[in-house]
Structures are given as structure tokens and as C-alpha cells.
Amino acid sequence: MDQPVRELSYAEAIREAMAIALERDERVVVMGEDIGVYGGAFQVTGDLIERFGPDRIIDTPISELGGAGIAVGAAVTGLRPIFEFQFSDFATLAMEQIVNQAAKMRFMLGGSVSVPVVMRFPAGSGTGAAAQHSQSLEAWFGHVPGLKVVQPTTPEDAKGLLLAALEDPDPVMIFEHKLLYKTRGPVPEGAYTTPIGKAEIRRKGRDVTVVATGVMVSRALEAANELAAEGIEVEVIDLRTVRPIDTPAIVESVIRTHRLCIVHEAVKTLGIGAEISARIAESEAFDYLDAPIVRLGGAETPIPYNPDLEKAAVPQVPGIVAALRDLATGRR
């Protein structure tokens, strides 16, 4: 990329993407609860209201189903709405509009419309907000044809994937992990896009492949660092897109490393790890596997409030290290 690069936080990078889009495209509006003067529950929209005014940075009442539906209707009729859910858990109120309408409208109408709506979902645990404010539900969306689903993990990708989503004619769901909002990283200035549907190798390694999503990417990288000291070289793939899954990228890596571990925060059963495991087992990488595929995911429980339980409910670095060590050294 040619643009100069600065350090921004993940939240700032998202805001910058929205500002670029608002600036260059009159059709872009941002909608959601308390995204105006409050700046959003996680301060992602921040000062956009001051720069673009209340006609484009639209505070909605607390009406997730109606709000999402309005965004869908606006998308079909010429706007490019970005709809922010205050917490991804509240998507449970809007699945009708997302799944029955946005995802299917083009198909049901035989191709006569597109639905270029972007929805943003602050997701995940780790903030002590308990079971109704900590869910990771991206697998539900990944199960729905007609949707695209991304999970950026770096500030650079958060910006690039949002700009890509805005250029995409179809509904794109963006899962943002709350713990990432304050993390910082290099972000190119100006407009660029990060391709939807492409995974990214964050660290090269020869001994074992880890596919991780969301906040688990940085935990996997930490684990990889620890293991490097033991001489185990872990390849870390940031999945980035949950639908469509970049199966070729994973296959290619597994063919080199012969071992695969998938780490995500969502509940393990029927999480994205299940799909990846099944796909790799069906792929040409299968014959290269020297050990069964390992999945690490959230415990089979709602997220608890108590901080120790909360941590125990999702993969943490020591558990990832142990699992990878076992996998790489043939103990599993």
C-alpha cells in the first residue's frame, strides 16, 4: 500500500473508515443506538455526529428489529446504511430482518434487487458484562446463505473490511470483538479495502497451523511466541471471514504443517471450528494430517459474571499453549 501509515486503535480505524465513506458517498448513513452525541457504547462512532450531523449519524430509539429493518429497506432503495448494534447479543431481536429479509431478498426476487447493508456487532466476553452482553453468535450468521460475515482482528483490517463491506452489493455482517476496540496497530491513511473471504497468515510456522478468529488471534500469536522458545513453530492464520470461509488458505497451510488447531471464543459445539474441521477432513489436506484436528472453543455455558469463571469459559493463552504443544509433539 502506498498510503502513509499511522498507529490507530481498532475503534479509531473503524471510525476512520466510516468517515471516509460518509465523506465520499452521500448515500452512506450510520444508524444505531446512542451513536450520536454519546459516541456509541464503545465510542466507535465518536465524533462523527459533529462532522456529519444527525441526518447521517442517526440515533435510533431502542428498537433493534425496526432499526435493522429500516436499514434493510433503505439499502434496497438507494442508501448504504451502516447499522450498529450496541451489543451483538441484541441481534437476537433482529434476526427476522437480517435472515428472512436482508439475506434472502435478492434471491426471492430473482435477482432484481441487491441489499447493500452493513451491520456491525460488538461481540464477545471479557468485560464482566455477563451472559446477555457477552455472546459470540457469528456462527449463526455463517449458516445463512445470502450473508457475508467478517471478523476483523487488526485496526488495519477493521478499516479495510468495513470499506470493502460498503462496496459490496450484498449484506455484510461485521463482528467486532469488544476487547479489540482499544488495541492499537498500523493503519494506512485514506481509502483501501481488505478483501472479504480471504484469510491472512499472521505468523509463518512449520509445525502446526492454528486458525483463529477475533480476540483469539492475538492469544494464538502469544501462544506461538511462547512455543517458539521451545522450538515449536506455529503458523497462525487469522480467518477474518466466517462466510465464505477461505478453505484453500487453510488447506494450503495444513499441507505444509500437517497439524491443525482451531481456536474461537464462541461455544465450541456448532462453532466455526466444527465447519473448518469438517472441511479440512474432506479436503486434500486430509491425507497430510499427522494428528486429529483439535478444536478449542467456548465452554458449554452462558458467559458467567465472576471474572475467574468468565476467563475459564473461553480459551486463554495457557490453554492454547498446552493444546498446541500436545498437538505439535504428538501427545494428542
Partner 1 sequence: MGREDKAMVKKAEAATGADNRPFLFRRHDAGTIREAYRKMLLIRAFEEGAENAYMRGLVHGTMHLSIGQEASAVGVGLALRDDDQITSTHRGHGHSIAKGAEVKRMFAEFFGKETGYCRGRGGSMHIADVSKGNLGANGIVGGGIPIAVGAALSARRLGNGKVVVCFFGDGANNEGAFHEALNMAAIWKLPVVFVCENNGYGMSTSQARATASATIAERAGAYAMPGRTIDGNDLSAVAEATEDAVSRARNGEGPSLIELKTYRWRGHSKSDRNRYRTKEEIDHWMTENDPVKRIEADLVAFGILDEAGLDAVRASVAEEIEAGIAFAKESPSPDPADLERFVYTEGA
Binding string, residues 261-290; x marks residues near a copy of itself by CB under 8 A? -----xx-xxxxxxx-xx--xx---x----
User: How far, in Å, are 144, 175, 284 from residue 139 at the CA level?
Assistant: 9, 11, 24
Tell me how far the alpha carbon of residue 161 is from its chain's centroid. 10
Q: Is 259 left (phi over 0), alpha (psi -120 to 50) or beta?
A: beta
The window from 85-93, 117-125, 139-147, 151-159 that contacts ligand TPP (CB under 6 A) reads: 85-93
How far is residue 315's CA from residue 318's CA, in Å, rounded to a whole number?
8
Give the nearer residue to a copy of itself in terms of CB position, either 3 or 269.
269
Which H/E stretch holds residue 84? strand 80-84
Q: Considering the complex, what minimum distance in angstroms separates the CB of residue 278 from partner 1?
A: 20
> Which residues 6+ apart lie within 8 Å of 306 measured at CB?
none
The smaller minimum CB distance to partner 1, of residues 64 and 235, is found at: 64
Binding residues for a copy of itself restricted to 36-75, rule: CB under 8 A? 65
Query: Which residue, 68 or 173, is less far from partner 1 as judged by CB?
Result: 68
Binding segment for a copy of itself (CB under 8 A), chosen from 89-97, 171-179, 208-216, 318-326, is 89-97
Round to the nearest angstrom and report the end-to-end CA distance of the chain. 42
CA distance 3 to 189: 6
Does residue 133 carry a catalytic annotation? yes
Determine, following the binding rule CB under 8 A, whether residue 95 of this chain makes contact with a copy of itself: yes
Beta bridge partners of 236: 203, 210
Task: Say which entry of a copy of itself, ligand TPP, partner 1, none residue 292 contacts (CB below 5 to 8 A, set by partner kind).
Answer: a copy of itself
Q: Of these residues, 16, 33, 84, 133, which one is catalytic?
A: 133
Chain contacts with ligand TPP (rule: CB under 6 A): 33, 62, 64, 86, 90, 93
